[in-house]
Amino acid sequence: MQPSHLFTVRLWRARVGGGREEWRGVVQHVLTRETFTFRTWNDLIVRLVMLAISQNKADAQIHQSKAESDTSVMNASGATEQDNVDE
């Protein structure tokens, strides 16, 4: 299954010089609370991709650590400690 990501995006119109308005926003990764501000739609896309990539790397490290931990629990017969408890 491909990883999924949940973000919140807050948008508002800000008045700038000369009576003009422009979009402003904040995007936040819901799980990590990592937050970025943006002013253009392109910046929003870049920020979303950056947050997703950083979370994918963190997820990969967690899975690698878990796999290494599971491997280290194996005993000489190839059974896990849980297998020995079940017997």
How does pLDDT run across 48-70, given as a tens digit for each residue?
888 888 877 766 666 666 666 66
Count other Cβ atoms within 10 Å, centred on residue 20. 8
**Interval 9-33 mean pLDDT:** 92
| Unique residue bearing structure tokens 């979303």 | 48
Q: What share of the chain in percent tops pLDDT 70?
A: 64
Asked if 28 and 54 count as a contact pair (C-beta separation under 8 A), the reply is: no
Q: What pLDDT score does 12 carry?
A: 96
Report DSSP state, residue 30: T
Q: Where are the domains of the chain?
A: 7-74
Considering the chain, what is the average pLDDT of its residues? Answer: 79
Q: Does pTM top 0.75 for this prediction? A: no
Q: What pLDDT score does 4 carry?
A: 80
